[in-house]
A = this chain, B = another copy of it.
Amino acid sequence: MASIFGNNLKISIFGQSHAPAVGVVMDGLPAGEPVDLAALGAFLKRRAPGQNPWSTPRKESDEPEILSGLAGGVTCGAPLTAVIRNTDTRSADYRELRDVPRPGHADYTAQVKFGGFQDTAGGGHFSARLTAPLCVAGGICLQLLARRGISVLAHLYAAGGVMDTPFDPVAVSGETLSALRGRAFPTLSEAAGQAMCQRIEAAKQAGDSVGGIVECAVTGVPAGVGEPIFDGMENRIAQIVFGIPAVKGIEFGAGFAAAGYTGSENNDAFYMDEGRVKARTNRHGGILGGITSGMPIIFRAAFKPTPSIAREQQSVSLSEGRDVTLNVKGRHDPCVAVRAVPVVEAAAAIAVYDALLDKEGHV
């Protein structure tokens, strides 16, 4: 099952970092939906490496080829498949890592699971490169959601200990969206963004890396989407977001802070607004009982610092069964959370669109 997600729209992610390609099959996409490839390309560019000084210097065109699923630029009901060729691969960088697993990476756990047969080059199937096809699928879902009046918007809420302004959970506005889309660095506060950049640059200079938090808002989702118990919106968003490398936590609405509140502080009062039920506050993050309330869906995902750092680290030689020191080579972002911002949007878009299809029917 592993690399397949979704109940109605099944997303099947494939590829390894240094295989001929990475890609995605989307099975269950309704027929008759135009796909704007230029808009998709623009979305993918936000994730692509080489957009800022700290991101990995690996250059990839990241241009997807659509192999199936479209007829005249419109979905035809057959599975949509997109592949992105891997071109700028330097597998030699990774050869010695089969024996000496990198701390914080999946090298050791994959070695045990796959009995040494895993593809180690560039992290193989565990590489952040696999977020490119996730963004293809998510980018297409974003277009379908937009047609239904639903927007998905994320920003870098924290990086290296520097905090951005949080979203207003009751009123994430279109203005916020426009402002954020225009930013070179994905923060609401430009000052916070500059401070983060300095913090990331300092870490890079020190041969180190920093973690971060991405906050995401989904607006325009009608009330009544999601299912009880195991297929609620929180379950589904969590399942896909933990599919993004380096995510170690997720919270909805007030999240962990709610654990410190009293009920009278945490409950969101309902009121009528021009015939519609709304909540005056949004500590529930737009989800109650797994089902959307019509308020914005708000969640935050915690990213650990990039485990590949330029410093000497302690590890083991699996073949020799002894402790060794390790110097990781390769090209790496000092803060994966920066480029993860559109990836979180993509993941949220897929989960929300899949849940909408519970109601619409997936044909």
Contact = CB atoms under 8 A, between A and B. Distances in A.
Given A1-B28, A230-B5, A264 B208 contact: yes
B16 A1 contact: no
A47 interface: no
A63 to B, nearest CB: 14
A23 B250 CA distance: 29
Interface stretch (A48-56, A169-177, A270-278): A270-278
B262 A81 contact: no
Contact of A114 (B31, B120, B235): B31
Q: Can you tell how many copies of this chain the complex includes?
A: 4
Contacts of A115: 31-32
B313 A269 contact: yes
A182 interface: no
Interface stretch (A38-46, A141-149, A318-326): A318-326
Given A203-B262, A259-B337, A266-B305, A104 B4 contact: no
A195 interface: no
A206 to B, nearest CB: 8
Nearest to A281: B103
A12 B288 CA distance: 21
Given A158-B260, A249-B256, A10 B1 contact: yes
Interface in A92-130: 101, 103-106, 108-110, 112-121, 124-126, 130
Contacts of A306: 263
A285 to B, nearest CB: 7
A78 interface: yes
A71 to B, nearest CB: 4
Contact of A239 (B69, B235, B283, B305): B235
Contact of A109 (B242, B266, B288): B288
A152 B171 CA distance: 41
Contact of A16 (B68, B259, B289, B308): B68
A263 B305 contact: yes
Interface string A345-363: 0000000000001111111
A8 to B, nearest CB: 8
A224 interface: yes
Contacts of A105: 288-289
A211 B260 contact: yes
A341 to B, nearest CB: 14
Contact of A259 (B158, B261, B361): B158
B248 A240 contact: no
Which one of A25, A31, A224, A361 has the greatest number of beta carbons of chain B within 10 Å?
A25
A227 interface: yes
A80 B234 CA distance: 24
A239 B270 CA distance: 28
A209 interface: yes
Interface string A205-226: 0101111110000000011111
Given A23-B67, A106-B289, A108-B223, A263 B2 contact: no
8 contacts: A3-B227, A13-B79, A20-B68, A79-B125, A203-B262, A211-B258, A229-B243, A234-B248
The 9 closest A-B pairs by CB, nearest first: A106-B289, A249-B251, A78-B125, A112-B224, A109-B291, A209-B263, A269-B314, A31-B114, A71-B119
